[in-house]
Structures are given as structure tokens and as C-alpha cells.
């Protein structure tokens, strides 16, 4: 049984992970790290910092907190040789570099989405991309998500662009030439692949990839209705990572 600390343990995602990972019977939550006291402790204890825990009692740290929190977790895990799984999004290039540096000392997994269904939807989108003339992405999340567009939509856009390039297709060119409201056509993520971000209460995490060609269309949609949908992917990551130095970028390589 692996012993874990969950950074951001008082938040909705941290509580969902504590519940879901404990329920598998394969993981023991030693500590929940948060400046606020968690509602449930799942057999562990509340601490305000990883520094308050005994590193020798931990096999891995799971961090879904914030980009700033991830930097501290990466530094701490590298220093104490504790494996790290990161699900926080909105990471800057320098923050991702901190993770890569940490991976020279210990195993690190970072992914924009830990839903297995979302990873498969990305694969399906990449497979479809060479066969359609145009594509746009709509990502929909709860209104407390502070970054836009989502990491999942950016990853999907890059996979689509890579697939189009491999097929010899040129970047997409927006046919719209007149705008009543600037920005109404979404953001150009890469090679003309547009992303539209929606933030509404009641949503969790949802994404549609819309393909179009003359006479036909294809929509690939994934929905996470509950944060428990991410637990399976986190267990996959925890099974794959240990103190062996390595950097695993994305969940896809861990799903055959």
C-alpha cells in the first residue's frame, strides 16, 4: 500500500482524491496539505505544509493545488526523494522546468487531465484530424476554474495540429473577415485550431471537438460529471511512478 500526501487537500479536488484513492484500498492518505482545514481527513492528518510531514513515511505526493504550490511540491519532493503526481493546470514554462529538474532526482508525472475518457477522446481527435477540412474546440468548466483555456483543450489542439502537419495539411485559416465583437471567434491555439472557453456554475469538466467537411461533421465529446472521474487516472500514474528519476508528460503514454 502506497502512502500519500495530497496537496490542496481541503479543496474539492483534494477531497475527491482523498475519498476515491482511499476507497481503492491500495493507498493510505498520510496527510492533507492545505492552509484551510479539510472537511474529511480519510485517516490522515491536516498539515499546512509538506515540511510538517515525515518524508520517510511517504511514497508519493499528489498535487492538484496551484502552479505556485506545484513549484514548492516539486522542490520538496526532489530534496526528499518522494515521487510526485501533478494535476494542477496553468503551469508556466518556468514552472514546468522546475518539474523537469525535480525529475532528475525522482519520478514525476504531470498531466492536464487524469480522466481516462478524456485521454481517449484526445486520441480519437488526433486520428480524425487528417480527414476533415476544419476543426474547433469548445471546453466547458465550472466557474471557479481560474485559467483558460483548459490544459486539456491545449493538449488536444496540439495533437490535432501535429496530426494535420504529419498528413501534409497546411495551418487552418479563419474564413471570418468581419467582427462585430473582437474575440468572438475564440483563441487561435496552434496552426489555426480555435478554442472557445465556457465557465458556468454546475459544470465540472467537458470538451467538444467539432470537425467539419463538405456534407458531414463529426463531434467528439467527453464529460466528467464528477471529480471521481479523475481518480482512475491518478491511480494509473501512482502505479507508474516511484523514486526512479523520470519525467512522464501526460497520461497517454501510461494507457496502452
Residues that are catalytic: 141, 145
Specify the pairing of strand 27-33 against strand 60-63: unpaired
Cβ atoms of 226 and 142 within 8 Å: the answer is no
Cβ atoms of 90 and 113 within 8 Å: the answer is no
Amino acid at each position: 500500500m502506497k502512502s500519500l500526501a495530497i496537496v490542496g487537500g481541503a479543496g474539492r479536488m483534494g477531497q475527491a482524491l482523498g475519498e476515491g484513492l482511499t476507497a481503492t484500498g491500495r493507498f493510505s492518505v498520510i496527510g492533507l496539505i492545505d492552509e484551510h482545514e479539510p472537511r474529511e481527513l480519510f485517516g490522515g492528518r491536516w498539515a499546512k505544509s509538506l515540511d510538517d510531514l515525515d518524508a520517510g513515511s511517504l511514497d508519493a505526493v499528489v498535487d492538484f493545488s496551484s502552479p505556485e504550490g506545484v513549484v514548492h511540491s516539486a522542490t520538496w519532493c526532489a530534496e526528499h526523494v518522494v515521487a510526485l503526481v501533478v494535476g494542477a493546470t496553468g503551469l508556466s514554462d518556468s514552472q514546468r522546468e522546475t518539474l523537469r529538474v525535480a525529475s532528475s532526482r525522482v519520478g514525476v508525472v504531470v498531466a492536464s487531465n487524469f480522466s481516462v475518457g478524456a485521454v481517449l477522446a484526445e486520441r480519437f481527435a488526433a486520428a480524425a484530424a487528417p480527414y476533415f477540412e476544419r476543426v474547433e474546440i469548445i471546453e466547458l468548466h465550472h466557474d471557479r476554474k481560474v485559467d483558460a483555456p483548459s490544459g486539456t483543450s491545449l493538449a488536444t489542439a496540439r495533437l490535432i495540429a501535429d496530426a494535420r502537419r504529419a498528413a501534409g495539411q497546411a495551418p487552418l485559416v479563419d474564413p471570418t473577415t468581419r467582427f462585430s465583437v473582437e474575440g468572438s471567434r475564440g483563441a487561435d491555439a496552434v496552426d489555426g485550431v480555435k478554442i472557445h472557453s465556457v465557465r458556468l456554475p454546475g459544470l465540472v469538466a467537458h470538451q467538444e471537438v467539432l470537425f467539419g467537411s463538405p456534407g458531414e461533421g463529426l463531434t467528439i465529446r467527453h464529460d466528467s460529471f464528477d471529480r471521481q472521474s479523475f481518480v482512475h487516472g491518478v491511480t494509473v500514474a501512482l502505479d507508474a511512478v516511484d523514486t526512479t528519476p523520470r519525467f512522464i508528460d501526460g497520461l497517454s503514454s501510461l494507457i496502452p
